[in-house]
Structure 1
C-alpha cells in the first residue's frame, strides 16, 4: 500500500502555530476590553472619600425628614406615546395638603446613569404636583423625588418602579 508522504513537523511550523494561537487570544482580549470600556456607564460617585465625608450630613437630613412626618404619595403612569407621568400628593404630619414646595423628580436607570431622565414637577392643585418624562424605555427605574423649601432639601425618597 502506498501512503501519502507526511510533511515533517518543523520548528518553524510550531513557531507559526504558537504565534497564530497567541495572536488570536490577544486579539480577542483586546476587542473584549475595548467593548467593555466603551459600554462602561461610569461610577456611582467620583470620590468615595468625599461621599463618606457627606454621609453624616445625609444621616442628619434623614432624621430631620423623619421628624417632619410628611406623607408624600407618588404615582407613575405609563403613557401611550412611550412617556410617563408622575403625580405626587404631599401632606404634612396632620394630613393637610402642602403647597409652595419645589419638587424635583428623576427617573434613574439602576444599571446605567447615562439613561437618567429628569421629571419637571409643578404644582397643579393644592398639594398635588405633576410632571412628565418622554421616551421612557421599558424596564426597571428608580424614581427619585426631592422637595425643597427656602433653598433647603426637606424631603427625599427613592423607589424602584417597573415600567412596561
Structure 2
C-alpha cells in the first residue's frame, strides 16, 4: 500500500492576505461593472423637479377644462411599416363636426419606460381637417402616442394614448 509522503501545506499569513485581497477585488470589480451597467441603462427621471411640476399642475387642469369645453374630436390612425417607419393620419373636427383647419399639430411616440427612444412626428395639414406625418426608426412594441394641437399661440388640444405597434 502506497502512502503519500507529501505533507499538507500549512496556511500562512501570506496565503490568508492574498486570498482576502483577491476575494474583495472580485467583489469590488463585479460591483463596479453592475454600477456601470445600471448607470448607462437608466433612462433618467420623469421630471427634473417635482416642485416645478406641481406648480404647473393647476395650469394643466385649466387647459384640460378648456379642451373639454371646446369638445373637439381628433381621430388618429397610425401604422408601422416593415421598414421601421410609422405613418400617422389625423382627422380633426369641432363640436359640430366641421373640419378644423389651420392648426399646428405635433405628435410624439414615447416609450413608456425609456424616453431615449422617443420619436417626434412632424404633422402637416393635407386638406379639410386632415393631417398626416411620418417617423423613421420606430421599433415594434408599446408606445404612448402624444398629440398636441396649437393655435393662436397656445396649446388647444392634448391627447395621450397607449398603443401597440407591430
- For normalisation by structure 2, the TM-score amounts to 0.94
1:15 CA displacement:
1.9
Q: Which residue matches 1:64?
A: 66
Name the SS for the 2:147 alignment partner.
strand
Q: Which residue matches 1:162?
A: 164
Name the SS for the 1:121 alignment partner.
strand
Size of the aligned set, in residue pairs, is 164
Gaps of 5+ in 2: none
Q: Which residue matches 2:97?
A: 95
Q: In structure 2, how many angstroms separate the alpha carbons of the residues matched to 1:125 and 1:45?
A: 37
Structure 1 stretches of 4+ with a deviation exceeding 4 A read none
Q: Which residue matches 2:54?
A: 52
1:85 CA displacement:
0.5
Q: In structure 1, how many angstroms separate the alpha carbons of the residues matched to 2:31 and 2:43?
A: 20
Q: Which residue matches 1:17?
A: 19
1:79 CA displacement:
2.0
Q: Which residue matches 2:119?
A: 117
Q: Deviations over 1:28-82 (max 9, x none)?
A: 0011111211222211111111111101101111111111111111110122321
1:17 CA displacement:
1.2
1:11 CA displacement:
2.1
**1:70-85 correspondence runs (5 A):** 70-85=72-87
Q: In structure 2, how many angstroms separate the alpha carbons of the residues matched to 1:113 and 1:125?
A: 32
1:141 CA displacement:
1.0
Q: Which residue matches 2:151?
A: 149
RMSD, aligned α-carbons = 1.2
1:119 CA displacement:
0.5
Q: Deviations over 1:103-128 (max 9, x none)?
A: 11111111221211110111112011
1:160 CA displacement:
1.0
1:9 CA displacement:
1.3
